[in-house]
Chain A
Amino acid sequence: MTTRTTHAIQCICCPTSCLGEADVEDGRVVETRGLTCEVGEAYAADEVVAPKRTVTTTVRVTGGKLHLLPVVSERPVPKEAVRDCVRLLRGVEVAAPIETGRVIVADALGLGVAFRASRDISAAPPQSAQV
């Protein structure tokens, strides 16, 4: 006999923001209530059993015009891995110059997800050291 658990789900796909419920059996969403479109259903299917989040944070830069480089995960990572990804990146230092899109960490925590630079940073001493 398989167990069925019920989870609340707050849909975030559009401004209607339906609040509903999803039943999970065998690690799959088998029924939803309170959601009113297929976009919400698709969101619920993932969010309830295997929620993922895009991670954005900063890494330190050496020899660049700015001190910090914003980075973003190429794809969403499992929600439970977010904090560890951020901690990992906090220990990373990158040397300028850097171009948008450059891979900063190729495979974070073995999840198969790369982190890329969100912007260019040119090589130069930081502005505040001189006029």
Chain B
Amino acid sequence: MREATYDVVAIGGGPAGMAAALAAKEAGAERVLIIERDRELGGILQQCIHNGFGLTRFNEELTGPAYADRYIKMVGAAGVDAWLDCTVLAAEPGGAITCVGPSTGLTTVKAKAVVHSMGCRERTRGAIRIPGTRPAGVFTAGAAQRMVNMEGYLPGRDVVIVGSGDIGLIMARRLTLEGARVRAVFEIMPYSNGLTRNIVQCLQDFDIPLYLSHSVVAVHGHDRVTGVTVAEVDADLRVRPGTEFDMACDCVLLSIGLIPENELGKAIGIQSDRVTGGAVVDQYRQTSVPGFFAAGNVLHVHDLVDLVSEESAAAGQSAAQFARGLLPDSARQRPVSAGPGLRSVVPQRLSPAAPGRFSASFYFRASRPMGPSILTLRGDDGAVIWNRKLSKGVKPSEMIVAQIPYARFARAEALEFALAPDEAAEAELKSKREAKL
């Protein structure tokens, strides 16, 4: 059994792991390693051949592989080691990582700090219990994307998509351009989860209908999918009896959610957040197990890779500081919570500020779409100690980021954020629209 020693190890070499490893190197960690189970670095970006990545990170609009390529080259130039085709089996507190690969064999890596950057997996049909048969032709959208974009095969020729998240929308366009017929996208909520840009460029451009408040209630077919039964749902997401109709198809793509691939963390008892599915972390992205950090989709599902890189750089920098004994002791932590109007906030804890750090970044998800809103921070007595107007409105599918100086909440023992509609701004926007009509 082989052994190796590193200062910082990132488990997962997608955008999160690469940004973390790079930042760790830049923050003074000497030996930095990325362990990646796929045959190359880049993670999910390699199959996201569409563009829209890098607008804030690089001031350019890049495709997924091109964004990955930038980081792959930076990581290589910085002297970060990368083990590919290598899977981590366990990562113990104290930093003993066991991994296995055809060329590395079974290896134990001693790490001073570990960054969890394993990304996420897709929610499956089983998790939402779509009744019916189990024929060939039911795929999660991401698995289908890999087959189409990296192997060159279509999952079907007559496709129905469940879920209007961006992966489903992107695949609607991709499959159409590759010669398949995409019949419809069914979304159970009364609003779409995806970017408006994708609704226009992936559905409207190709006349693919989007059915809101609809759910697939059965899959049919013996060896291969032959069709689905769809029905309308009410405000409680229950099927409205009598609205069922059948749609013929040979393929069902599921784009129904992503789940942080957090099993390595759960295995060592890292405290996890029931809403995000990822770890509970402080502003350094350190989890409840000292020396273990988390960033990217494994911590909470992101929608912009630019934010993944930002968050992961913070985690990598902190991991390097931890490895050098420079991260402040996290014994005294203040809780951060997502109050009314918000679904989640990361970080969920605040540790004492490190020297030289003057502000902390908070990442939020709204609980429902809203027009112009106000994000507020309240201290223990309920008084508002900080707020920001979000004049362009909010959607649950678009992460909100706020960087707040420590000075603003220095004296609060607990921090609660909330999001509420900004009535005044809403009225102003309405009159602006009407003035032109």
Contacts and interface: CB of A to CB of B under 8 A. Distances in A.
Contact of A86 (B61, B85, B177, B398): B177
B236 interface: no
Interface of B: 39, 46, 49-51, 61-66, 68-69, 85, 102-103, 149-152, 177-178, 195-197, 199-201, 204-205, 392-395, 398, 429, 432-433, 436-437
Nearest to A101: B66
A70 B392 contact: no
Nearest to B394: A15
Contacts of A32: 436
Contacts of B200: 10, 12
Contacts of B432: 36
Nearest to B428: A36
B392 A16 contact: yes
Interface size class of A (residues with CB under 8 A): 35 or more
Contact of B436 (A34, A60, A86): A34
19 contacts: A11-B196, A15-B398, A16-B393, A18-B433, A20-B436, A34-B436, A53-B201, A56-B51, A57-B49, A58-B49, A58-B149, A58-B152, A67-B150, A68-B149, A82-B177, A82-B205, A86-B177, A100-B69, A118-B65
Contact of A36 (B151, B201, B429): B429
Contacts of B429: 16, 36
A11 to B, nearest CB: 8
A17 interface: yes
B195, B199, B200, B395 pick with most chain A CB within 10 angstroms: B200
Contact of B152 (A11, A53, A60): A60
A129 interface: no
Interface of A: 10-12, 14-18, 20, 32-36, 53-54, 56-58, 60, 65-68, 70, 72, 79, 82-83, 86, 100, 118-120, 127, 131
B85 to A, nearest CB: 8
Contact of B63 (A11, A67, A70): A70
A33 B436 contact: yes
Given A118-B49, A118-B63, A131-B102, A79 B433 contact: no
